[in-house]
Chain A
Protein backbone atom coordinates (compact mmCIF):
# COMPACT_ATOMS: atom_id res chain seq x y z
CA UNK A 1 0.00 0.00 0.00
CA UNK A 2 1.30 3.41 -0.98
CA UNK A 3 1.20 5.77 1.96
CA UNK A 4 -0.57 9.03 1.25
CA UNK A 5 1.58 12.04 1.93
CA UNK A 6 -0.12 15.26 0.92
CA UNK A 7 2.30 17.76 -0.54
CA UNK A 8 2.61 21.20 0.96
CA UNK A 9 1.79 22.84 -2.37
CA UNK A 10 -1.51 20.94 -2.63
CA UNK A 11 -2.87 22.96 0.23
CA UNK A 12 -3.64 26.62 0.08
CA UNK A 13 -2.76 28.46 3.26
CA UNK A 14 -4.41 26.09 5.67
CA UNK A 15 -6.76 27.21 8.42
CA UNK A 16 -4.56 25.53 11.03
CA UNK A 17 -1.44 27.32 9.81
CA UNK A 18 -3.32 30.65 9.91
CA UNK A 19 -4.21 30.01 13.56
CA UNK A 20 -0.58 29.30 14.40
CA UNK A 21 0.56 32.49 12.65
CA UNK A 22 -2.12 34.61 14.33
CA UNK A 23 -1.39 33.09 17.75
CA UNK A 24 2.23 34.25 17.34
CA UNK A 25 1.44 37.82 16.21
CA UNK A 26 3.57 40.58 17.67
CA UNK A 27 0.79 42.84 18.93
CA UNK A 28 -1.29 40.07 20.44
CA UNK A 29 -2.21 40.71 24.10
CA UNK A 30 -0.10 38.76 26.59
CA UNK A 31 -0.60 37.60 30.17
CA UNK A 32 0.38 40.94 31.74
CA UNK A 33 -2.11 42.75 29.48
CA UNK A 34 -4.83 40.37 30.65
CA UNK A 35 -3.85 40.64 34.30
CA UNK A 36 -4.02 44.45 34.10
CA UNK A 37 -7.33 44.36 32.29
CA UNK A 38 -8.96 41.66 34.45
CA UNK A 39 -8.03 42.94 37.89
CA UNK A 40 -7.29 46.34 39.39
CA UNK A 41 -5.50 45.23 42.52
CA UNK A 42 -3.02 42.63 41.32
CA UNK A 43 -0.14 41.92 43.68
CA UNK A 44 2.78 40.22 41.98
CA UNK A 45 4.61 37.43 43.77
CA UNK A 46 8.18 36.82 42.65
CA UNK A 47 10.84 34.15 42.99
CA UNK A 48 10.79 30.43 43.68
CA UNK A 49 12.69 30.79 47.04
CA UNK A 50 15.28 28.38 45.72
CA UNK A 51 16.84 29.07 42.33
CA UNK A 52 15.66 32.56 41.45
CA UNK A 53 12.93 34.36 39.55
CA UNK A 54 11.76 33.91 35.97
CA UNK A 55 10.00 36.65 33.99
CA UNK A 56 8.58 34.05 31.60
CA UNK A 57 6.02 33.20 34.26
CA UNK A 58 4.11 35.93 36.10
CA UNK A 59 2.45 34.90 39.36
CA UNK A 60 0.38 36.83 41.88
CA UNK A 61 -2.92 37.48 43.56
CA UNK A 62 -5.75 39.52 42.11
CA UNK A 63 -9.51 40.01 42.25
CA UNK A 64 -11.61 39.09 39.21
CA UNK A 65 -15.41 39.55 39.46
CA UNK A 66 -15.35 39.69 43.27
CA UNK A 67 -13.28 36.50 43.59
CA UNK A 68 -9.63 36.60 44.60
CA UNK A 69 -7.57 34.35 42.32
CA UNK A 70 -4.04 33.09 42.26
CA UNK A 71 -2.98 33.97 38.73
CA UNK A 72 -0.17 32.20 36.87
CA UNK A 73 0.53 33.59 33.41
CA UNK A 74 3.15 32.93 30.76
CA UNK A 75 4.67 36.09 29.32
CA UNK A 76 6.66 36.29 26.07
CA UNK A 77 7.57 39.96 26.32
CA UNK A 78 6.65 43.07 24.31
CA UNK A 79 9.86 45.07 23.94
CA UNK A 80 13.10 43.41 22.94
CA UNK A 81 14.44 43.88 26.48
CA UNK A 82 11.39 42.24 27.99
CA UNK A 83 11.48 39.46 25.42
CA UNK A 84 15.06 38.66 26.41
CA UNK A 85 14.17 38.78 30.11
CA UNK A 86 11.26 36.42 29.44
CA UNK A 87 13.37 34.10 27.24
CA UNK A 88 10.64 34.72 24.63
CA UNK A 89 8.09 33.02 26.84
CA UNK A 90 10.08 29.84 27.40
CA UNK A 91 10.11 29.26 31.14
CA UNK A 92 13.05 27.81 33.06
CA UNK A 93 12.80 25.48 36.08
CA UNK A 94 12.68 28.48 38.45
CA UNK A 95 9.57 29.70 36.62
CA UNK A 96 7.77 26.40 37.12
CA UNK A 97 8.97 26.28 40.73
CA UNK A 98 7.60 29.79 41.30
CA UNK A 99 4.32 28.62 39.82
CA UNK A 100 4.33 25.64 42.22
CA UNK A 101 4.84 28.04 45.11
CA UNK A 102 1.80 30.00 43.93
CA UNK A 103 -0.29 26.81 43.68
CA UNK A 104 0.61 25.78 47.26
CA UNK A 105 -0.42 29.22 48.50
CA UNK A 106 -3.66 29.05 46.55
CA UNK A 107 -4.46 25.81 48.37
CA UNK A 108 -3.54 27.26 51.74
CA UNK A 109 -5.87 30.24 51.29
CA UNK A 110 -8.49 28.31 49.36
CA UNK A 111 -8.15 30.60 46.34
CA UNK A 112 -9.07 29.40 42.85
CA UNK A 113 -6.26 29.32 40.29
CA UNK A 114 -6.34 31.00 36.88
CA UNK A 115 -3.59 30.09 34.43
CA UNK A 116 -2.93 32.05 31.23
CA UNK A 117 -1.05 30.01 28.66
CA UNK A 118 1.17 31.50 25.98
CA UNK A 119 4.49 29.79 25.30
CA UNK A 120 6.35 28.20 22.40
CA UNK A 121 7.49 25.58 24.93
CA UNK A 122 9.64 25.16 28.03
CA UNK A 123 13.18 26.50 27.68
CA UNK A 124 15.73 24.11 26.16
CA UNK A 125 19.32 24.66 27.27
CA UNK A 126 22.21 23.39 29.36
CA UNK A 127 21.23 25.30 32.51
CA UNK A 128 17.56 24.29 32.22
CA UNK A 129 18.57 20.63 31.97
CA UNK A 130 21.01 20.92 34.88
CA UNK A 131 18.26 22.38 37.04
CA UNK A 132 15.90 19.55 36.08
CA UNK A 133 13.48 20.93 33.50
CA UNK A 134 11.86 17.50 33.08
CA UNK A 135 11.65 16.89 36.82
CA UNK A 136 10.08 20.26 37.52
CA UNK A 137 7.39 19.91 34.84
CA UNK A 138 6.61 16.40 36.13
CA UNK A 139 6.24 17.75 39.67
CA UNK A 140 4.20 20.72 38.47
CA UNK A 141 1.75 18.33 36.81
CA UNK A 142 1.46 16.28 40.03
CA UNK A 143 0.86 19.38 42.12
CA UNK A 144 -1.69 21.14 39.93
CA UNK A 145 -3.55 17.86 39.38
CA UNK A 146 -3.98 17.42 43.13
CA UNK A 147 -4.79 21.07 43.99
CA UNK A 148 -7.93 21.15 46.13
CA UNK A 149 -9.13 24.43 44.57
CA UNK A 150 -10.77 25.21 41.22
CA UNK A 151 -8.24 25.44 38.37
CA UNK A 152 -9.22 27.39 35.25
CA UNK A 153 -6.90 27.59 32.24
CA UNK A 154 -7.13 29.96 29.26
CA UNK A 155 -4.87 29.61 26.23
CA UNK A 156 -4.16 33.14 24.99
CA UNK A 157 -1.89 32.30 22.06
CA UNK A 158 0.65 29.53 21.84
CA UNK A 159 0.15 26.27 23.70
CA UNK A 160 3.57 24.79 23.08
CA UNK A 161 4.10 21.23 24.28
CA UNK A 162 4.91 20.14 27.85
CA UNK A 163 5.80 23.69 28.86
CA UNK A 164 2.21 24.75 28.20
CA UNK A 165 0.64 21.51 29.42
CA UNK A 166 2.08 22.06 32.91
CA UNK A 167 -0.37 24.98 33.28
CA UNK A 168 -3.22 23.44 31.26
CA UNK A 169 -4.09 20.53 33.54
CA UNK A 170 -7.28 22.05 34.92
CA UNK A 171 -10.99 21.72 35.65
CA UNK A 172 -11.90 24.01 32.76
CA UNK A 173 -9.88 24.78 29.66
CA UNK A 174 -10.84 27.60 27.29
CA UNK A 175 -8.96 28.70 24.20
CA UNK A 176 -9.03 32.02 22.40
CA UNK A 177 -10.27 31.71 18.85
CA UNK A 178 -6.80 32.20 17.36
CA UNK A 179 -4.68 30.01 19.58
CA UNK A 180 -3.25 26.54 19.21
CA UNK A 181 -2.13 23.66 21.41
CA UNK A 182 0.37 21.18 20.10
CA UNK A 183 2.76 18.43 21.10
CA UNK A 184 5.48 20.02 18.94
CA UNK A 185 5.81 23.15 16.80
CA UNK A 186 4.65 22.60 13.21
CA UNK A 187 8.16 23.54 12.07
CA UNK A 188 9.74 20.95 14.38
CA UNK A 189 7.31 18.29 13.25
CA UNK A 190 7.90 19.09 9.58
CA UNK A 191 11.66 18.83 9.85
CA UNK A 192 11.61 15.61 11.88
CA UNK A 193 8.77 13.68 10.22
CA UNK A 194 8.58 15.17 6.73
CA UNK A 195 12.32 15.91 6.55
CA UNK A 196 11.42 19.32 5.14
CA UNK A 197 10.90 22.37 7.34
CA UNK A 198 8.97 24.10 4.55
CA UNK A 199 6.15 21.63 5.15
CA UNK A 200 5.16 23.34 8.41
CA UNK A 201 1.72 24.09 6.94
CA UNK A 202 1.11 20.44 6.27
CA UNK A 203 2.36 19.61 9.77
CA UNK A 204 0.03 22.22 11.33
CA UNK A 205 -2.87 20.67 9.46
CA UNK A 206 -1.90 17.10 10.42
CA UNK A 207 -1.26 17.75 14.12
CA UNK A 208 -4.90 18.70 14.89
CA UNK A 209 -3.83 21.67 17.00
CA UNK A 210 -6.68 24.18 16.53
CA UNK A 211 -9.24 25.12 19.21
CA UNK A 212 -11.90 23.33 17.12
CA UNK A 213 -9.81 20.14 17.19
CA UNK A 214 -9.47 20.30 20.97
CA UNK A 215 -13.22 20.80 21.38
CA UNK A 216 -13.86 17.89 19.02
CA UNK A 217 -11.65 15.62 21.14
CA UNK A 218 -13.34 16.83 24.32
CA UNK A 219 -10.01 18.09 25.68
CA UNK A 220 -11.10 21.75 25.86
CA UNK A 221 -14.40 23.17 27.10
CA UNK A 222 -14.88 26.43 25.20
CA UNK A 223 -13.58 28.68 22.45
CA UNK A 224 -13.61 32.39 23.22
CA UNK A 225 -14.34 34.55 20.18
CA UNK A 226 -12.01 37.39 19.30
CA UNK A 227 -13.29 40.66 17.89
CA UNK A 228 -11.83 41.40 14.44
CA UNK A 229 -8.73 43.53 14.87
CA UNK A 230 -8.00 42.00 18.28
CA UNK A 231 -4.70 43.45 19.52
CA UNK A 232 -3.07 44.98 22.61
CA UNK A 233 -4.80 48.27 21.77
CA UNK A 234 -8.13 46.65 20.98
CA UNK A 235 -8.77 43.92 23.50
CA UNK A 236 -11.64 45.20 25.68
CA UNK A 237 -14.31 43.05 24.01
CA UNK A 238 -12.27 39.86 24.29
CA UNK A 239 -11.29 40.62 27.89
CA UNK A 240 -15.00 41.02 28.65
CA UNK A 241 -15.68 37.63 27.08
CA UNK A 242 -12.85 36.01 29.04
CA UNK A 243 -14.10 37.61 32.25
CA UNK A 244 -17.61 36.28 31.60
CA UNK A 245 -16.27 32.80 30.95
CA UNK A 246 -14.23 32.86 34.17
CA UNK A 247 -17.36 33.86 36.10
CA UNK A 248 -19.38 31.09 34.50
CA UNK A 249 -16.68 28.54 35.36
CA UNK A 250 -16.17 29.68 38.92
CA UNK A 251 -19.91 29.72 39.61
CA UNK A 252 -20.05 26.08 38.55
CA UNK A 253 -16.84 24.95 40.27
CA UNK A 254 -17.52 26.71 43.58
CA UNK A 255 -20.28 24.23 44.33
CA UNK A 256 -17.76 21.39 44.75
CA UNK A 257 -15.60 20.68 47.79
CA UNK A 258 -11.82 20.54 47.32
CA UNK A 259 -11.85 16.74 47.52
CA UNK A 260 -14.64 16.52 44.95
CA UNK A 261 -12.81 18.84 42.57
CA UNK A 262 -9.73 16.62 42.62
CA UNK A 263 -11.81 13.45 42.27
CA UNK A 264 -13.68 14.91 39.29
CA UNK A 265 -10.44 16.15 37.71
CA UNK A 266 -8.89 12.68 37.86
CA UNK A 267 -12.03 11.01 36.57
CA UNK A 268 -12.39 13.46 33.70
CA UNK A 269 -8.77 12.88 32.64
CA UNK A 270 -8.95 9.12 32.97
CA UNK A 271 -12.12 9.06 30.88
CA UNK A 272 -10.46 10.92 28.01
CA UNK A 273 -9.79 7.81 25.96
CA UNK A 274 -10.97 5.79 23.01
CA UNK A 275 -9.99 8.37 20.38
CA UNK A 276 -9.95 7.10 16.83
CA UNK A 277 -10.13 8.58 13.36
Chain B
Protein backbone atom coordinates (compact mmCIF):
# COMPACT_ATOMS: atom_id res chain seq x y z
CA UNK B 1 0.00 0.00 0.00
CA UNK B 2 1.31 3.39 -0.95
CA UNK B 3 1.13 6.01 1.72
CA UNK B 4 1.00 8.94 -0.67
CA UNK B 5 -0.74 9.43 -3.92
CA UNK B 6 1.90 10.11 -6.57
CA UNK B 7 -0.18 12.92 -8.02
CA UNK B 8 0.17 14.93 -4.86
CA UNK B 9 3.59 16.44 -5.11
CA UNK B 10 3.33 20.15 -4.61
CA UNK B 11 3.06 22.00 -1.33
CA UNK B 12 -0.30 23.38 -2.41
CA UNK B 13 -1.71 19.93 -2.99
CA UNK B 14 -0.50 18.81 0.40
CA UNK B 15 -2.47 21.50 2.19
CA UNK B 16 -5.54 20.26 0.41
CA UNK B 17 -5.37 16.83 1.97
CA UNK B 18 -8.26 16.73 4.38
CA UNK B 19 -7.29 16.46 8.02
CA UNK B 20 -8.98 13.46 9.59
CA UNK B 21 -11.94 14.53 11.71
CA UNK B 22 -12.69 12.91 15.03
CA UNK B 23 -15.93 12.76 16.98
CA UNK B 24 -15.87 12.46 20.74
CA UNK B 25 -18.26 9.95 22.29
CA UNK B 26 -20.28 11.62 25.04
CA UNK B 27 -20.74 8.29 26.80
CA UNK B 28 -17.25 6.76 27.01
CA UNK B 29 -15.24 9.86 26.05
CA UNK B 30 -13.20 8.14 23.34
CA UNK B 31 -12.30 9.98 20.14
CA UNK B 32 -13.29 8.08 17.01
CA UNK B 33 -12.64 8.82 13.35
CA UNK B 34 -15.77 10.50 11.96
CA UNK B 35 -15.96 8.18 8.94
CA UNK B 36 -15.71 5.17 11.22
CA UNK B 37 -18.58 6.43 13.39
CA UNK B 38 -20.89 7.08 10.47
CA UNK B 39 -20.04 3.83 8.67
CA UNK B 40 -21.12 1.98 11.82
CA UNK B 41 -24.74 3.25 11.96
CA UNK B 42 -23.34 6.37 13.69
CA UNK B 43 -22.77 4.23 16.75
CA UNK B 44 -19.75 4.25 19.08
CA UNK B 45 -17.67 1.14 18.32
CA UNK B 46 -16.60 0.94 21.97
CA UNK B 47 -19.75 1.50 24.00
CA UNK B 48 -22.68 1.54 21.55
CA UNK B 49 -23.52 5.21 22.18
CA UNK B 50 -25.85 6.56 19.50
CA UNK B 51 -24.39 9.58 17.71
CA UNK B 52 -26.77 11.84 15.86
CA UNK B 53 -27.19 10.61 12.29
CA UNK B 54 -26.68 12.89 9.28
CA UNK B 55 -29.82 12.84 7.12
CA UNK B 56 -28.03 11.30 4.12
CA UNK B 57 -26.74 8.41 6.23
CA UNK B 58 -30.18 7.89 7.72
CA UNK B 59 -31.71 7.55 4.26
CA UNK B 60 -29.07 4.93 3.38
CA UNK B 61 -29.99 3.08 6.58
CA UNK B 62 -33.75 3.13 5.97
CA UNK B 63 -34.53 3.20 2.25
CA UNK B 64 -34.14 0.16 0.00
CA UNK B 65 -30.99 0.48 -2.12
CA UNK B 66 -31.21 3.05 -4.91
CA UNK B 67 -34.93 3.69 -4.46
CA UNK B 68 -34.81 7.15 -2.84
CA UNK B 69 -35.85 9.95 -5.18
CA UNK B 70 -35.32 13.34 -3.59
CA UNK B 71 -37.86 16.17 -3.82
CA UNK B 72 -37.02 19.85 -3.34
CA UNK B 73 -33.25 19.45 -2.87
CA UNK B 74 -32.71 22.99 -4.14
CA UNK B 75 -34.90 24.64 -1.50
CA UNK B 76 -33.01 26.89 0.84
CA UNK B 77 -33.87 29.66 3.29
CA UNK B 78 -34.62 33.06 1.76
CA UNK B 79 -33.89 34.88 5.06
CA UNK B 80 -37.44 36.26 5.03
CA UNK B 81 -36.94 38.66 7.97
CA UNK B 82 -33.54 39.96 6.90
CA UNK B 83 -32.30 38.76 10.27
CA UNK B 84 -28.91 39.94 11.60
CA UNK B 85 -26.06 37.47 11.01
CA UNK B 86 -28.40 34.80 9.60
CA UNK B 87 -27.05 34.62 6.01
CA UNK B 88 -23.59 34.01 7.43
CA UNK B 89 -24.79 31.18 9.67
CA UNK B 90 -26.72 29.64 6.80
CA UNK B 91 -23.68 29.72 4.53
CA UNK B 92 -21.58 27.98 7.17
CA UNK B 93 -24.24 25.32 7.77
CA UNK B 94 -24.52 24.65 4.05
CA UNK B 95 -20.78 24.40 3.63
CA UNK B 96 -20.33 22.06 6.58
CA UNK B 97 -23.22 19.77 5.66
CA UNK B 98 -23.33 19.90 1.88
CA UNK B 99 -27.10 20.35 2.27
CA UNK B 100 -29.33 23.32 1.47
CA UNK B 101 -31.64 22.89 4.45
CA UNK B 102 -32.07 20.98 7.70
CA UNK B 103 -34.17 18.27 6.09
CA UNK B 104 -34.10 15.87 3.14
CA UNK B 105 -37.42 14.77 1.65
CA UNK B 106 -38.30 12.27 -1.02
CA UNK B 107 -40.05 9.08 -2.00
CA UNK B 108 -38.52 5.63 -1.62
CA UNK B 109 -39.23 2.00 -0.87
CA UNK B 110 -38.78 0.45 2.57
CA UNK B 111 -38.79 -3.34 2.59
CA UNK B 112 -40.52 -3.11 -0.77
CA UNK B 113 -43.23 -0.71 0.42
CA UNK B 114 -43.38 2.67 -1.30
CA UNK B 115 -43.52 5.65 1.10
CA UNK B 116 -42.71 9.33 1.51
CA UNK B 117 -39.62 9.80 3.68
CA UNK B 118 -38.50 13.03 5.37
CA UNK B 119 -35.36 13.10 7.49
CA UNK B 120 -34.29 16.09 9.57
CA UNK B 121 -30.59 16.78 10.09
CA UNK B 122 -29.58 18.09 13.49
CA UNK B 123 -26.11 19.01 12.21
CA UNK B 124 -27.69 21.76 10.08
CA UNK B 125 -28.47 24.66 12.47
CA UNK B 126 -29.64 22.16 15.11
CA UNK B 127 -32.31 20.87 12.75
CA UNK B 128 -34.30 24.02 13.34
CA UNK B 129 -37.55 24.46 11.41
CA UNK B 130 -37.89 27.54 9.24
CA UNK B 131 -39.96 28.28 6.17
CA UNK B 132 -38.26 25.78 3.87
CA UNK B 133 -38.18 22.89 6.36
CA UNK B 134 -41.94 23.41 6.79
CA UNK B 135 -42.45 23.73 3.06
CA UNK B 136 -40.51 20.55 2.26
CA UNK B 137 -42.64 18.63 4.76
CA UNK B 138 -45.95 20.05 3.48
CA UNK B 139 -44.90 19.44 -0.15
CA UNK B 140 -44.05 15.82 0.64
CA UNK B 141 -47.26 15.25 2.61
CA UNK B 142 -49.26 16.72 -0.28
CA UNK B 143 -47.40 14.45 -2.71
CA UNK B 144 -48.22 11.45 -0.49
CA UNK B 145 -51.89 12.45 -0.49
CA UNK B 146 -51.82 12.74 -4.27
CA UNK B 147 -50.04 9.40 -4.78
CA UNK B 148 -51.87 7.59 -1.97
CA UNK B 149 -48.66 6.87 -0.04
CA UNK B 150 -47.85 6.56 3.64
CA UNK B 151 -45.42 9.09 5.14
CA UNK B 152 -42.52 8.65 7.55
CA UNK B 153 -40.83 11.62 9.20
CA UNK B 154 -37.60 11.30 11.21
CA UNK B 155 -37.55 14.27 13.57
CA UNK B 156 -34.32 15.74 14.92
CA UNK B 157 -34.68 19.34 15.89
CA UNK B 158 -34.00 22.02 18.43
CA UNK B 159 -37.39 23.54 17.50
CA UNK B 160 -38.44 26.54 15.45
CA UNK B 161 -35.72 28.57 13.73
CA UNK B 162 -35.65 31.86 15.62
CA UNK B 163 -34.09 33.75 12.72
CA UNK B 164 -37.30 33.27 10.73
CA UNK B 165 -39.52 34.52 13.55
CA UNK B 166 -43.26 34.27 13.05
CA UNK B 167 -42.77 32.51 9.70
CA UNK B 168 -41.08 29.58 11.42
CA UNK B 169 -43.91 29.45 13.97
CA UNK B 170 -46.39 29.40 11.09
CA UNK B 171 -44.84 26.15 9.87
CA UNK B 172 -46.40 24.34 12.84
CA UNK B 173 -49.84 25.25 11.47
CA UNK B 174 -48.91 24.55 7.85
CA UNK B 175 -47.50 21.08 8.51
CA UNK B 176 -50.58 20.33 10.64
CA UNK B 177 -52.83 21.29 7.71
CA UNK B 178 -50.94 19.07 5.25
CA UNK B 179 -50.88 16.11 7.67
CA UNK B 180 -54.60 16.57 8.42
CA UNK B 181 -55.28 16.26 4.69
CA UNK B 182 -53.36 12.96 4.65
CA UNK B 183 -55.34 11.91 7.70
CA UNK B 184 -58.65 12.70 5.94
CA UNK B 185 -57.48 10.58 3.00
CA UNK B 186 -56.93 7.65 5.37
CA UNK B 187 -53.18 7.54 4.85
CA UNK B 188 -50.81 6.49 7.64
CA UNK B 189 -48.21 8.86 9.03
CA UNK B 190 -45.42 7.31 11.10
CA UNK B 191 -43.34 9.63 13.25
CA UNK B 192 -39.84 8.57 14.31
CA UNK B 193 -38.28 10.61 17.09
CA UNK B 194 -34.51 10.85 17.26
CA UNK B 195 -32.12 12.77 19.48
CA UNK B 196 -33.03 15.58 20.03
CA UNK B 197 -36.68 16.36 19.29
CA UNK B 198 -37.83 19.52 21.07
CA UNK B 199 -39.80 22.78 20.85
CA UNK B 200 -42.10 23.58 17.97
CA UNK B 201 -41.34 20.28 16.22
CA UNK B 202 -42.43 18.28 19.28
CA UNK B 203 -45.49 20.54 19.57
CA UNK B 204 -46.54 19.80 15.98
CA UNK B 205 -45.80 17.04 13.48
CA UNK B 206 -43.45 14.95 15.65
CA UNK B 207 -46.34 14.18 18.03
CA UNK B 208 -49.06 13.92 15.38
CA UNK B 209 -48.12 10.46 14.07
CA UNK B 210 -50.66 7.66 13.92
CA UNK B 211 -47.78 5.68 15.33
CA UNK B 212 -44.86 7.30 17.13
CA UNK B 213 -41.63 5.40 17.70
CA UNK B 214 -38.30 6.60 19.04
CA UNK B 215 -34.65 5.68 19.10
CA UNK B 216 -33.33 4.69 22.55
CA UNK B 217 -32.26 7.46 24.93
CA UNK B 218 -33.36 10.28 22.58
CA UNK B 219 -34.03 13.61 24.28
CA UNK B 220 -37.68 14.46 23.62
CA UNK B 221 -39.52 17.41 25.11
CA UNK B 222 -41.34 20.67 24.60
CA UNK B 223 -39.11 22.99 26.62
CA UNK B 224 -35.37 22.34 26.65
CA UNK B 225 -33.94 20.80 29.86
CA UNK B 226 -31.93 23.95 30.59
CA UNK B 227 -35.07 26.08 30.52
CA UNK B 228 -36.81 23.69 32.89
CA UNK B 229 -33.82 23.47 35.23
CA UNK B 230 -34.15 27.25 35.72
CA UNK B 231 -37.71 26.79 37.01
CA UNK B 232 -36.87 24.25 39.73
CA UNK B 233 -34.36 24.04 42.57
CA UNK B 234 -34.01 20.27 42.55
CA UNK B 235 -32.08 18.26 40.02
CA UNK B 236 -34.21 17.00 37.16
CA UNK B 237 -35.31 13.34 37.47
CA UNK B 238 -32.91 10.75 36.02
CA UNK B 239 -34.84 9.68 32.92
CA UNK B 240 -36.65 13.02 32.47
CA UNK B 241 -37.43 13.85 28.82
CA UNK B 242 -35.91 10.64 27.47
CA UNK B 243 -37.65 8.28 25.07
CA UNK B 244 -37.83 5.70 27.89
CA UNK B 245 -39.63 8.24 30.10
CA UNK B 246 -42.09 9.16 27.34
CA UNK B 247 -42.89 5.49 26.76
CA UNK B 248 -43.74 5.13 30.45
CA UNK B 249 -45.89 8.27 30.30
CA UNK B 250 -47.85 6.84 27.38
CA UNK B 251 -46.67 9.45 24.88
CA UNK B 252 -45.03 7.08 22.36
CA UNK B 253 -45.67 3.53 21.12
CA UNK B 254 -42.28 1.86 21.13
CA UNK B 255 -38.54 2.31 21.39
CA UNK B 256 -36.69 0.71 18.51
CA UNK B 257 -32.96 0.01 18.24
CA UNK B 258 -31.29 1.82 15.36
CA UNK B 259 -30.37 -1.37 13.48
CA UNK B 260 -33.99 -2.62 13.77
CA UNK B 261 -35.67 0.56 12.52
CA UNK B 262 -35.88 -0.41 8.87
CA UNK B 263 -37.44 -3.81 9.65
CA UNK B 264 -39.93 -2.34 12.12
CA UNK B 265 -40.98 0.43 9.73
CA UNK B 266 -41.49 -2.15 6.96
CA UNK B 267 -43.56 -4.24 9.37
CA UNK B 268 -45.78 -1.26 10.28
CA UNK B 269 -46.18 -0.35 6.59
CA UNK B 270 -47.17 -3.93 5.81
CA UNK B 271 -49.98 -3.66 8.37
CA UNK B 272 -51.56 -0.59 6.77
Contact = CB atoms under 8 A, between A and B. Distances in A.
Q: Do A and B come from one complex?
A: yes
Interface of A: 1, 3-6, 122, 124-126, 128-135, 137-139, 141-142, 145-146, 161-162, 165-166, 168-169, 181-184, 189, 192-194, 202, 206-209, 213-214, 217, 219, 265-266, 269-270, 272-273, 275-277
B227 interface: yes
B166 A209 contact: yes
B207 A219 contact: no
B203 A133 contact: yes
B176 A141 contact: yes
30 contacts: A1-B88, A122-B222, A124-B227, A125-B228, A125-B231, A126-B232, A128-B222, A129-B221, A134-B207, A137-B204, A138-B208, A139-B208, A142-B176, A145-B180, A162-B160, A162-B199, A165-B169, A183-B168, A193-B162, A206-B83, A207-B166, A213-B166, A219-B170, A265-B177, A266-B178, A270-B138, A270-B177, A272-B170, A275-B167, A276-B79
Interface in B158-178: 160, 162-170, 172-174, 176-178
Nearest to A6: B84
A264 B127 CA distance: 30
A129 B240 contact: yes
A3 B85 contact: yes
Interface of B: 78-85, 87-88, 131, 135, 138, 142, 160, 162-170, 172-174, 176-181, 183-184, 198-200, 202-208, 220-223, 227-228, 231-232, 236-237, 240-241, 249, 251
B84 A183 contact: no
B180 A266 contact: yes
Contacts of B199: 162
Contacts of B135: 273
A184 B183 CA distance: 30
A183 B222 contact: no
B188 to A, nearest CB: 15
Given A207-B81, A269-B177, A192 B162 contact: yes
Contacts of A181: 166, 169
Nearest to B138: A270
A133 B169 CA distance: 17
Nearest to A199: B84
Given A122-B222, A141-B204, A277-B82, 11 more contacts: A134-B221, A137-B222, A138-B202, A138-B204, A166-B203, A202-B84, A206-B83, A266-B180, A272-B174, A273-B131, A277-B79
Contact of B180 (A130, A142, A161, A189): A142
Nearest to A193: B162
A273 to B, nearest CB: 6
Given A1-B88, A161-B169, A273-B135, A129 B82 contact: no
A208 B165 contact: yes
- Which 8 A-B pairs rank lowest in CB-CB distance, beginning with the nearest? A134-B202, A276-B78, A124-B223, A134-B222, A138-B207, A275-B80, A137-B203, A277-B82
Nearest to A214: B166
B84 A139 contact: no
A138 B165 contact: no
A222 B222 CA distance: 31
A145 B173 contact: yes
A182 B173 contact: no
Nearest to A277: B82
A184 B227 CA distance: 13
Contact of B241 (A129, A165, A166): A129
Contacts of B207: 132, 134-135, 138-139
Contacts of B173: 141, 145, 165, 168-169, 269
A201 B1 CA distance: 62
Nearest to B234: A126
Contacts of B78: 275-277
A193 B176 contact: no
B142 A138 contact: no
Nearest to B209: A138
